[in-house]
Amino acid sequence: MNAQRILIQRIEDREAKVAIIGMGYVGLPLAVEFASAGLETVGIDLNEEKVTQVNAGESYIADVPSIAVRDLVETGKLRATTEASALAEVDCICISVPTPLSKTKDPDISYIVAACDMIVQYFRPGVLIVLESTTYPGTTEEVILSRLDVGGALVGKDFFLAFSPERVDPGNEQWKTRNTPKVIGGVTSRCTEVATALYRHAVDTPIPVSSPAAAEMVKILENTFRSVNIGLVNEIALICDRLDLNVWEIIDAAATKPFGFMKFTPGPGLGGHCIPIDPLYLSWKMRGLNYETRFVDLADKVNAEMPRHVVMKVMDGLNDDGKALMGARVLVLGVAYKSDIDDVRESPALLIIEQLRKKGADVVYNDPHIPDLSGEIEGDLRSVALNEEELARTDCAVVVTAHSAYDWGWIGEHAGLVVDTRNALAGAGGKARVIGL
């Protein structure tokens, strides 16, 4: 029996062992799904704290309940380690490491390369390797495959390689790892077949495509679609501001059209690991092919300007009250990149705080999900209590993230000036003077 059939049989018999390299927002939920399906799973991460928590049955991801982790650890289906040597014992490896941008907005694939080096060190024939980290089209074959030239092993025969982009949406109560369709593209048809056999245990609906590059492009398209449309509606917000129109009224009225319109809403800027970053992978890739990604670049430019627009709104609002921004106390409400999560990756709140500080404002923040911003921003900045006293001494409150825990009616009653970037106080009433985008 060839390596493909042997591995598929081991997967179907739940004898295959799985390793997840990178136990963050993607890796831990995926590891839990594989382990829940009966596949012995090991998470590999250099962060000792994460490893300790997993092995203690504790979850550090809000979407993954600790009881699920604890049950799987106690039954021996899930464990974590910092040791790459665990790769020598597994049949399937999923790479779910970060792929940030450098300061020059070029892809930083150093974490992928490091994961490949780990795999090569403990490589054995018959293994399946799947990259989940979002990256530019061509990465799986140009970067990973080129590094897996181990002892003349042939892809599709002696080992199997595929790309399957993560589609994690933190805080989404409806769509989780299990019920979100999973795109899978193998280097060869055999690679796709093996990877699909594995993911059938973790997801309800595998979606095979023709190649890793096709799967990589699917992910880029999904997030570029959102980035461009958010860029469009952010520009509409800027236009409405100059025309003295309420952008939220305009959008809500347009959304009553039952065809040909999809509702997007403006905001203080893009956040999260995907939407602000993924389209720029495509821009970088196409620059090397002498092609200008005009829509992508323009959307990025518009979205990147929104934090500055918010700061100007604060400045104008304070000016109308006869106050200067320098020395004013500004309270930022919500610093997570989206509501009801504890993730500040690429959050526009960080840029807004930084720009307000540069202009001399005394900036504090409140976020029920993020007690401090240690390591995210310069200085020791911790969430302050949200009470009448705090609002009374605040010159301007800025709604950046509309967490459901906030009582907008209460905030509207006790705040003075509010710059509301999320239309959260619409209809809330109260004495506050509210300025929109």
Share in percent of the chain as helix, strand, coil (round to 5): 40, 15, 45
What DSSP line would sit under 197-257, residue for residue?
A: HHHTTT-S-EEEES-HHHHHHHHHHHHHHHHHHHHHHHHHHHHHHHTT--HHHHHHHHTT-
DSSP letter at 410? H
Beta-strand relationship, 92-95 and 18-21: parallel
What span, in angstroms and rounded, lies between the C-alpha atoms of 95 and 108?
A: 15
| Whether 92 is catalytic | no
Round to whole Å and give the CA distance between 2 and 158.
9
Instruction: Give the position of tokens 């106390």.
Output: 329
Q: Shortest CA distance to 182 belongs to which of 4, 28, 33, 5?
A: 33
Residues in the chain: 437
Tokens 């239309």 identify what position?
A: 423
Write down the catalytic residue from 92, 191, 274, 396.
274
Q: Which among 214, 194, 196 has a CA at the least distance from the CA of 206? A: 196
| Residues identified as active-site | 274
